[in-house]
Amino acid sequence: MTGSRSGGPSGGGTARHGLVIGKFYPPHAGHHHLIETAAQHCRRLSVVVMAASRELVPLDDRVRWLRAAHRDLPGLEVVGVTDDVRIDYEDPEVWSRHVDLVEAALARMVVTAVRPGEEGPSTDVDRATSATVDLVATSEPYGAELARRLGAAHLLVDQARTAHPVSGTVVRADPVGCWEWLRHPVRAGLARRVAVLGAESTGTTAVSRALAERLRARSGVWSTTGWVPEYGRVYTEERVAVQRAQHAHAGRPGVPVVEDLVWTPEDFTAVARRQQDLEDAAAGAGSPVLVCDTDVFTTCVWHTRYVTAERVGTAAASAIPWSGLPLPPGLRHLAESRRADLYLLTEQDGVPFVQDGLRDGEHLRSWMTEEFRARLTETGRPWVSLTGTLGERVERALRACDDLVSAGRTFAAPLG
């Protein structure tokens, strides 16, 4: 049985439990339209993300993006399942294996959101009953057969792709060209992140800000290019201000300066987490490239400078391999789970040191530059060295970004 896009399921009533399945590789406007249309025709809606293990975008990311994109839909639950079964709509055995995966996903799904006035399943029997669907919504030819096998009505939604002329295949082939079809959570996951890093007073802020401005000037999809400032600087300013206030309140002579601060591992973890949050927020609202004045990896190197090197000396700190650095677990996890797509290292040669009241490492600029260079190489992060005048550095950075975007992403073909 097939319903229309504007009408309800067969019989015209509202379904108790609807189902939408798909690869969502990646989620795009057509998927969101399908989900939101289905939600209008059922009291509960389950979305099952079925991803093959060889596909580039992790299953957990797709589930997370869909949950974030539809967080305001009542009665919606999203669950993921790995589906490495080949696609063959003419093979009954293959059909059965796919349906088994769908039913298994529904059976283990815990209903966390229900419509006002309803109660969620409280017993095993209730849960088993709640896994039964009576409406399947798709935009694909296979939808009617899937609905038949599940004993449900079928709601066919925009199969011709007239409302949203986009597909996962098209998005994978040209994410930049399809940027308008992606919602903020998906953009945040697919944006290429470019981090500018360097020793103190080497122009990281000037370069990163100018780079973002140059990208925005291209207009179109690039007009929303984001720039994420260095949160560590804000954190330092706040710590100095607090110390000065406490000093004055106690009636002590003199004014504390940045050199008087004592840094702990917890400080760097706090800075890294906030920096990551700022990145994620900016990436979702921005263009295909996000420009960052530092990142979590950079924070790890500053931890080496202010904590490890203070304890054992710069030479001994540099000799410790990345895997053996005494980084806080939370900081290391952030650095190893999230990395920029490109790092731009601002060299100190030709850039005079400018004291702004928060810098204390003029004597360590050469060591810090070499530490960044060594750690970038050791951890296999892609990086480009920036030298010359500010204008020359920005031009080199822009070319590197263009090369990054032109190279595209290598999306493994979906399992067929």
Question: Are 346 and 393 within 8 A, CB to CB?
Answer: yes
Question: Are 353 and 200 within 8 A, CB to CB?
Answer: yes
Token pair belonging to 281: 């927020």
pLDDT band at 253 (very low <50, low <70, confident <90, very high): confident
Report whether pLDDT(350) > 90: no
- pLDDT score for 416: 63
Token pair belonging to 49: 């993300």
Domain ranges of the chain: 2-173, 191-407
For the question of whether the overall pTM of this predicted structure is more than 0.75, the answer is: yes
Q: Given this structure, which CATH class describes domain 191-407?
A: alpha beta
Task: Look at residues 48, 34, 27 and name the one whose alpha carbon lies nearest to residue 101.
Answer: 48
Tell me what the mean pLDDT of segment 264-279 comes to: 95
- pLDDT score for 262: 83
Same topology for domains 2-173 and 191-407, yes or no? Answer: yes
Task: Look at residues 289, 46, 31 and name the one whose alpha carbon lies nearest to residue 182.
Answer: 31
In this structure, the number of other CB atoms found within 10 A of the CB of residue 128 comes to 12
At 26-74, the pLDDT tens digits run 999 999 999 999 999 999 999 999 999 999 999 999 999 999 999 999 9
Q: Taking the domain 2-173, which CATH number applies?
A: 3.40.50.620
At 110-168, the pLDDT tens digits run 544 444 455 554 444 344 456 899 999 999 999 999 999 999 999 999 999 999 999 99
- pLDDT score for 388: 96
Question: Are 48 and 102 within 8 A, CB to CB?
Answer: yes
Report whether pLDDT(413) > 80: no
- pLDDT score for 239: 86
Query: What share of the chain in percent tops pLDDT 70?
Result: 89
Tell me what the mean pLDDT of segment 374-397 comes to: 97
Side-chain half-sphere exposure of 19, counting CA atoms within 13 A? 30
At 78-105, the pLDDT tens digits run 999 999 999 999 999 999 999 999 999 9
- pLDDT score for 122: 46
Token pair belonging to 123: 């017993």
- pLDDT score for 347: 94
- pLDDT score for 11: 38
Tell me what the mean pLDDT of segment 290-298 comes to: 97
Going by the DSSP 8-state scheme, the letter that residue 307 receives in this structure is I
Between 12 and 309, the higher pLDDT residue: 309
At 179-238, the pLDDT tens digits run 999 999 999 999 999 999 999 889 999 999 999 999 999 999 999 999 999 999 899 888
- pLDDT score for 243: 82
- pLDDT score for 259: 76
Tell me what the mean pLDDT of segment 11-21 comes to: 81
Poorest-pLDDT segment among 11-20, 300-309, 325-334, 385-394: 11-20
- pLDDT score for 112: 44
Tell me what the mean pLDDT of segment 167-174 comes to: 95
- pLDDT score for 115: 45
Average pLDDT, the chain: 89
Which residues, 6+ apart, have CB-to-CB distance to 347 below 8 Å? 198, 202, 369, 385, 386, 387
Tell me what the mean pLDDT of segment 329-348 comes to: 95
